[in-house]
Amino acid sequence: MPHYITLATCSLNQWAMDFEGNRDRIVESIVIAKERGASMRVGPELEVPGYGCLDHFLENDTYLQSWEMYSTILSNPDTYGILLDIGMPVIHKNRRYNCRILSYDGKILLIRPKIFLANDGNYREMRYFTPWLKTQYVEDFNLPVLIKKVTNQEVVRFGDLVISTLDTVIGCETCEEMFTPQAPHVSLSLDGVEIITNSSGSHHELRKLNTRVSLIMEATRKCGGVYLYSNQKGCDGDRLYYDGCAMIVCNGEILAQGKQFSLDDVEVLTAVIDLEDVRAYRALASHGIQSRLSPVYERKHLDVELSPDSMNFDITVEPTAPRPCFYHLPEEEIALGPACWLWDYLRRCKGAGFFLPLSGGIDSCATAVIVYSMCRLVIEACDAGNEQVKKDVKLVTRDENDDNFPKTPQELANKIFHTCFMGTSNSSEETKGRALELSKKIGSYHVNLNMDTVVSSIISLFEVTTGKKPIYKIFGGSNIENLALQNIQARLRMVLAYLFAQLLPWTRGKKDVGGLLVLGSANVDEQLRGYLTKYDCSSADINPIGGISKNDLKRFITWSTKSLQLPILKSFVDATPTAELEPVTKEYVQSDEADMGFTYDELSVMGRLRKVEKCGPYSMFIKLLHIWKDKKTPEEIATKVNSFFWYYSVNRHKQTVSTPSYHAEQYSPDDNRFDLRPFLIDPRFSWGRHKISSVLDKMKANEKIDTMTVD
Ligand SMILES: Nc1ncnc2c1ncn2[C@@H]1O[C@H](COP(=O)(O)OP(=O)(O)OC[C@H]2O[C@@H]([n+]3cccc(C(=O)O)c3)[C@H](O)[C@@H]2O)[C@@H](O)[C@H]1O
Ligand SMILES: Nc1ncnc2c1ncn2[C@@H]1O[C@H](COP(=O)(O)OP(=O)(O)OP(=O)(O)O)[C@@H](O)[C@H]1O
Ligand SMILES: NC(=O)CC[C@H](N)C(=O)O
């Protein structure tokens, strides 16, 4: 006989420290889950204060306020009649833990601290929380007075335990724990836990979703059981975008999959599952044998049936059918992730819009297309009746009048998105024309200016003061003069950007509405190589493409040509990237790749080796000997590696002031959160170079690389 149970999971767009807003979204998700007949609901990791509070997790206020919000959830009768798994931080014996609190009908059943914390890359959970570490170990926890008053309970169990109801057993695994070699879901399953909840604060990275999905699928494919995956979504106040994609998986098959990118603050997924399927799936002798050797969990009993009609089931109830997993193309991920992040950022900081220096090159074009994509998402959400988005549009446009409400992405862009071509005598008609054409197609409010007089007046000031006039290299000047003449143009653009961002809304008749957020467009590869002028337009308020490689940006623009119906973008892809900071002559046109001494393909490979594969110069050289064996000689590879580490180190200081960017790439060089390295590094890497040279010497002496001994 079937044993149907309806379960719910959700993605919530929580904002760090927005206690009331977070509480309201939690309650809304519970109400929706109940309306859909669910008897259990799981929410994202640390959903009460928001996942990304960072050092606010060191403050006692965060814990007190989390309990205060939690008490209002517990005492709200709308949250009764459903088993709740809610994430929040808890102090126990003076230690701070990242916890899940399970409750039913206003009573706490247990508190389950995270056993293995996330502490790599962007994650620093060990900085504020203690890992519980002791699997299957449980203690008593004295509830705070304010909770005692609500629940009439003194003490609850705190630790690695599970819940048994009259009809099933439920256990927890928290985010990173699923990524560990000895993930708790194995021993939970072997001890008879049928439903495993996973509450996550997991961020978006291009091409990462399949890692997460395969881990979830494998967990239940191997052990059998139901996996309820919940994740935060949106920008909760930092560089990360949490990419939702809640899931319900049973016995290795997906029953429900939420959106990875959307502007809905609350998304609830439900599925009807036959628990007998889990029991049948686990009827394997080898599983039975291992279960005898596996640890036993303390069980907190809940005298409730989560599928109450099991003795008298309704034949009309249909179990949810499996469905294939859905993945976005990386190009779509770029169109959607940074766009959602920008929208959250804008509405949450109550900005009046964006300002973008638009050069006619690929990078600022990609930033502009992402803002356009954001406008498309906003209009789509409004058309679909999303009241929160409508309210936010009125806030951001500073216009409450329904008659003025934008109906198309272009109308919205025209109100909130400002682009500006800042030409000089070095600029070409092509770049100026491309910038103008793009702005027309996406609807941005475009300004075209020539800043030659500003540049020449600064150079004159310098000349009057020092009696020296710098001249370009092609006219006989030195390298230093040539560079200074370029850098002043680039830096003045930043100053102008901030002036226009502050005053453009005012020139358009909007008084005292606040300024526009200045967008930056430096990509991962040029930041890694340091091919940018410190404090030029790479210094902005936020940068949606700072974590994206040039190659991915090119792919994104090519994809957008068709998918976003912007044929103008083809001309951006076909153009040779150039900074247009030096005069063009018959013999010379400035080109990025020639200037840098690297192609973007090479930078991508080397960037990945440096960060993802954790290579210093010597091991990078050894790896590249194989990777590039058909493309370059060992000497060329050695020169590339030495030069790469040289430029990376002499320019590392630029990363200390790099504009906060959307994190999207595993090899991001972001100094502030992700890629923590010194910024005063001896660029010679002399011992590494010495070792590279000795390998070259041995190769020259005709020794084979695979048989020689290298120390
Ligand atoms: N270790 C260190 N710690 C802290 N600061 C350090 C430093 N080393 C130099 N500095 C300082 O950094 C400054 C030099 O850096 P910076 O002013 O950026 O100038 P710099 O890196 O010398 O030149 C700009 C680079 O960007 C390239 N570029 C090309 C095309 C376009 C663009 C563009 O942006 O549009 C840029 C250009 O070819 C050149 O390689 C100086 O003030 C110097 O004192
Ligand atoms: N003529 C210009 N008008 C407006 N902004 C400009 C102009 N030239 C450069 N910028 C701004 O300065 C940033 C850095 O300029 P750079 O020449 O290094 O271009 P880039 O990093 O290759 O980017 P892009 O592909 O957008 O030109 C650009 O992304 C853009 O925001
Ligand atoms: N909050 C967590 O535990 C997240 C860590 C995990 N490795 C992830 O990237 O999703």
Instruction: Give the tens place of pLDDT for each residue, 45-98.
Output: 999 999 999 999 999 999 999 999 999 999 999 999 999 999 999 999 999 999
Hey, CA dihedral for 520, 523, 528, 533, is it positive or negative? negative
What ipTM goes with this model? 0.93
Instruction: Please state, in angstroms and rounded to a whole number, the distance separating the CA atoms of residues 279 and 217.
Output: 17
Q: What is the mean pLDDT of residues 535-541?
A: 97
Residue 576: pLDDT band with limits 50, 70, 90: confident
Instruction: Please state, in angstroms and rounded to a whole number, the distance separating the CA atoms of residues 88 and 98.
Output: 6
Taking the centre of ligand 3 as the mean of its atom positions, its distance from the CA of residue 175, in whole angstroms, is: 5
Give the rounded percent of residues in the chain with a pLDDT score beyond 70.
98
Which residues have C-beta atoms less than 6 Å from ligand 3? Answer: 45, 118, 123, 175-176, 179, 200-202
Query: Which pLDDT value is given to residue 414?
Result: 98
Average pLDDT over the chain, rounded to an integer:
96
Q: Characterize 366-378 residue by residue with b for buried, 16 or more Cβ atoms within 10 angstroms of its Cβ, and e for exposed.
A: bbbbbbbbbbbbb
Could you identify the residue written with the tokens 């009768």?
A: 77
Quickly count helices (H) and strands (E) in the chain.
24, 20
**pLDDT exceeds 90 at position 497:** yes
Tell me the CATH number for domain 4-312: 3.60.110.10
Could you tell me if 144 and 91 are in contact, meaning their C-beta atoms sit under 8 angstroms apart?
Answer: no
Residue 569: pLDDT band with limits 50, 70, 90: very high
Query: Which pLDDT value is given to residue 705?
Result: 53
Q: Which of 17-31, 410-424, 494-508, 564-578 has the lowest mean pLDDT?
A: 564-578
The single-letter code of the amino acid at 387 is E
| pLDDT tens digits, one per residue of 239-268 | 999 999 999 999 999 999 999 999 999 999
Every domain of the chain and the residues it spans = 4-312, 329-450+496-575, 597-711
Q: CA-based angle 412:418:423, to the nearest 5?
A: 150
| pLDDT tens digits, one per residue of 634-648 | 999 999 999 999 999
Taking the centre of ligand 1 as the mean of its atom positions, its distance from the CA of residue 432, in whole angstroms, is: 25
C-alpha separations of 142 from 63, 112, 146, 161, 546 in Å: 15, 14, 11, 17, 47
Instruction: Please state, in angstroms and rounded to a whole number, the distance separating the CA atoms of residues 421 and 358.
Output: 5
Q: What is the mean pLDDT of residues 207-235?
A: 96
Which residues have CB under 8 Å from 675's CB, separation 6+?
611, 655, 668, 669
pTM value? 0.95
Query: Which pLDDT value is given to residue 139?
Result: 98
Nearest ligand to residue 519 Cα = 2
| pLDDT tens digits, one per residue of 288-299 | 999 999 999 999
The single-letter code of the amino acid at 646 is W
Q: CA-based angle 564:428:552, to the nearest 5?
A: 35
Q: Which two tokens stand for residue 495?
A: 């100053």
Instruction: Please state, in angstroms and rounded to a whole number, the distance separating the CA atoms of residues 168 and 199.
Output: 20
Name the residue of 481, 486, 582 to mutate for ligand 1: max ligand atoms within 8 A of Cβ. 486
Taking the centre of ligand 1 as the mean of its atom positions, its distance from the CA of residue 485, in whole angstroms, is: 12
**Mind telling me the catalytic residues?**
45, 114, 175, 359
Query: Which pLDDT value is given to residue 317?
Result: 84
C-alpha separations of 233 from 23, 178, 200, 568, 695 in Å: 15, 19, 10, 33, 49
User: Which protein residue's CA is at the shortest distance from atom 2 of ligand 2?
Assistant: 359
**pLDDT exceeds 80 at position 702:** no
Beta carbons within 10 angstroms of residue 514's beta carbon: 14
Name the residue of 200, 238, 239 to mutate for ligand 3: max ligand atoms within 8 A of Cβ. 200
Query: Which pLDDT value is given to residue 706?
Result: 55
Query: What is the homologous superfamily of the domain 329-450+496-575 according to CATH?
Result: HUPs (3.40.50.620)
Query: Which pLDDT value is given to residue 309?
Result: 65
Q: What is the mean pLDDT of residues 611-632?
A: 97
Q: What is the mean pLDDT of residues 543-551?
A: 97
Which residues have C-beta atoms less than 6 Å from ligand 2? Answer: 357-359, 361-364, 420-423, 427, 493, 521-522, 526, 532, 536-538, 577, 579, 592
Query: Which pLDDT value is given to residue 580?
Result: 87
Query: Residue 512 burial by CB count (10 A; 0-12/13-18/19+): exposed, middle or buried?
Result: exposed
Could you tell me if 451 and 492 are in contact, meaning their C-beta atoms sit under 8 angstroms apart?
Answer: yes
| pLDDT tens digits, one per residue of 312-324 | 767 888 999 999 9
**pLDDT exceeds 90 at position 505:** yes
Q: Which of 36-45, 74-83, 343-352, 698-707 has the lowest mean pLDDT?
A: 698-707
Taking the centre of ligand 2 as the mean of its atom positions, its distance from the CA of residue 333, in whole angstroms, is: 23
Q: Which two tokens stand for residue 414?
A: 């025209």
User: Which protein residue's CA is at the shortest distance from atom 6 of ligand 3?
Assistant: 176
Query: Which pLDDT value is given to residue 310?
Result: 61
Could you tell me if 187 and 294 are in contact, meaning their C-beta atoms sit under 8 angstroms apart?
Answer: yes
Instruction: Please state, in angstroms and rounded to a whole number, the distance separating the CA atoms of residues 167 and 311.
Output: 11
Query: Which pLDDT value is given to residue 561?
Result: 98
Could you tell me if 470 and 483 are in contact, meaning their C-beta atoms sit under 8 angstroms apart?
Answer: no
Phi, psi for 104 (deg, rounded to 5): -150, 130
